[in-house]
Structure 1
Amino acid sequence: MKRLLLLAAPLVLAACGSSESDPAPTPTPTPSQPRTLVAADLDLSTLGAKIVGPQGPEIETVLSAGSAQIGEMVSFVACPEGVETCEPGQMPEGTIYTYVHQITLAQNNEATQDAAITGPEVVESPPSLFRTTEKAHGFNAAVGYSSAQALDALGSEDAIAITSDDGRLIWRVVEGGGWQPGSTITFWWQSTLPPAGPADAYLLEVEGSQSIARGPYPAEEKSPAGTSAN
């Protein structure tokens, strides 16, 4: 027994020595997964006054894919109900701003028709979606769309699913018979930050045709150390 213990001792010492020389494992960051959000309806009549910017209370954008117009977007940002004049610099801390985007598809959309049909075979086209191309700064988890308009444009009030992917908001059509030409759907989301101005921060995709959309967007919130006094 004593001989066995003496032979085993060098092995124990060697094992201990090797553990000290091995490099510490590097932690692998876990990629953030898309998060499903609960969609809510919105009664526009319950909003307060709109922010009036250099372009007025609303920003209109023509949505084009190549040389074809696929629709148009009208956007605005409103203060909470009861606010008669919405001036971000004069609003109290904690004010919630509602970003509203009304998208109307073109009546005759040659770009989407070409993407959906090639030759004699009908090709399954990508799902239609509307999204932010940047992180939704100040997002307070309140988001949705008009269910009545979704019923009219898509055939179902629950036709749209909303997710957050790395901070970017995505409204994706998951049910219904496709977005009908000439119909309108209103998308909305809320932020604790007012818009910094118009930005090319939105994207519409219909039947494989994509168009960057320009609308009001909040700037990234600065850390307390980098915030300058007004």
Structure 2
Amino acid sequence: MKRLLLIAAPFALAACGPGEPEPAPSPTPTPAQPRTLVAADLDLSTLGAKIVGPQGPEVSTVLSAGSSQIAEMVSFVACPQGVAVCEPGQMPEGTIYTYVHQVTLAATNGEEEAAEGEGPEVVESPPTLFRTTERVHGFNAAVGYSNAQALAALGNEDAISISSDDGQLIWRVVEGDGWLPGATLTFWWQSTLPPAGPADAYLLEIEGNQAIARGPFPAEEKAAPGAPAN
């Protein structure tokens, strides 16, 4: 009996001996992927009065790349249909604000266009897009552009795709004959937050040129007192 006990002892000690527990695997965050949004046509009849800011009901800005003007943008923010005076401080909770941006390309010289067309074939043309450079606070997933203007400027009313990348909105020209010089495209989106004022929060990229645009943009929504930070 003693011999059996001596043989079993090492196993008992091994089973009861101290051991380091394996660390629990920590979750690895998955990067948010860009997601495609459903574009809606611009219907100005659904808009009410515009917000009147220090610069009036509209904000105009010139978009330049280097020393050249490549476009001009006129922006405004409107309350819903039926609102005669749009004053954010006086509007009821839950009011939806529509941000509208009319971008008109600068007219170019026809001879310059012909010269640019000469030479070796370009395999991949630079992107043509309009986007926000910051997260769109209060975004309610309503977004789009003017179909009629896309048809006139690009030759196809479905030529623009819209995506959200890390909270930033991107309108990208994916079809059509190219944005015609002097033509206007109007982009719009909605937020539950009014603008905090004009901000350098927009960007136009066309023919390899990038230009920052200044327009109305909502401020980040403040957390309620005592609420945990995100």
Per-residue CA deviation, residues 83-126 of structure 1 (Å, 9 max, x unaligned), is 0000000000000000000000011179x96xx95972233322
Give % identity. 74
Q: Quote the residue 1:144 is aligned against.
A: 144
Deviation at 1:28, TM superposition (A): 1.1
Separation of aligned partners in 1, 2:34 and 2:45: 32
Instruction: Write the deviation string for residues 150-171 of structure 1: whole angstroms up to 9, x where unpaired.
Output: 0111111110000000000000
Count how many residue pairs are aligned between Structure 1 and Structure 2: 220
Please state whether the residue corresponding to 1:121 is helix, strand or coil.
Answer: coil
Shift of residue 15, structure 1, vs aligned partner: 11
Native 8 Å contact 1:109 1:181 kept in 2: no
Larger mean CA deviation between 125-134 and 97-106 belongs to 125-134
Partners of 1:61 and 1:15 lie apart in 2 by 74
RMSD between superposed Cα atoms in Å: 2.9
Equivalent residue, structure 1, for 2:175: 175
- Counterparts of 1:87-166 in structure 2, within 5 Å, are 87-108=87-108, 117=116, 120-123=119-122, 124-166=124-166
> Which residue does 1:17 correspond to in 2?
19
SS in 2 for 1:71: strand
What is the rounded CA distance, in whole Å, between the counterparts of 2:133 and 2:226 in structure 1? 25
Q: Secondary structure at the match of 1:95?
A: coil
Letter of the structure 1 residue corresponding to residue 57 of structure 2:
P
Deviations along 1:49-68, one digit per CA (max 9) or x if unpaired, are 00000000000010100011
Deviation at 1:17, TM superposition (A): 3.0
Contact kept in structure 2, 1:74 and 1:103, CA below 8 Å = yes
Counterpart position of 1:203: 203
Give, in whole Å, the separation in 2 of the partners of 1:68 and 1:33: 35
Structure 1 length-normalised TM: 0.87
Mapped partners of 2:99, 2:34: distance in 1? 21
> Rg larger in 1 or in 2?
2
Number of the residue aligned with 1:39? 39
Structure 2 length normalisation: TM-score?
A: 0.87
Contact 1:40 1:143 in 2 (8 A): yes
Deviation at 1:133, TM superposition (A): 0.3
Q: Distance in 2 between matches of 1:151 and 1:14?
A: 78
Q: Distance in 2 between matches of 1:92 and 1:173?
A: 37
Distance in 1, Cα, partners of 2:214 & 2:59: 8
CA shift in 2, pair 1:74/1:24, >3 Å: same
Looking at structure 1, the residues matched to 149 and 48 of structure 2 have their Cα atoms a distance apart, in angstroms, of 21
Give 1:85's aligned residue. Answer: 85
Q: What amino acid does structure 1 have at the position aligned with 2:19?
A: G
SS of aligned partner of 1:32: coil
Specify the SS of the correspondent of 1:98: strand
Match of 2:49 in 1: 49
Q: CA deviation at 1:27?
A: 1.9
The question of whether the paired residues in 2 share the 8 Å contact of 1:102 and 1:186 is answered with yes
In 2, the alpha carbon distance for the partners of 1:190 and 1:38 equals: 13
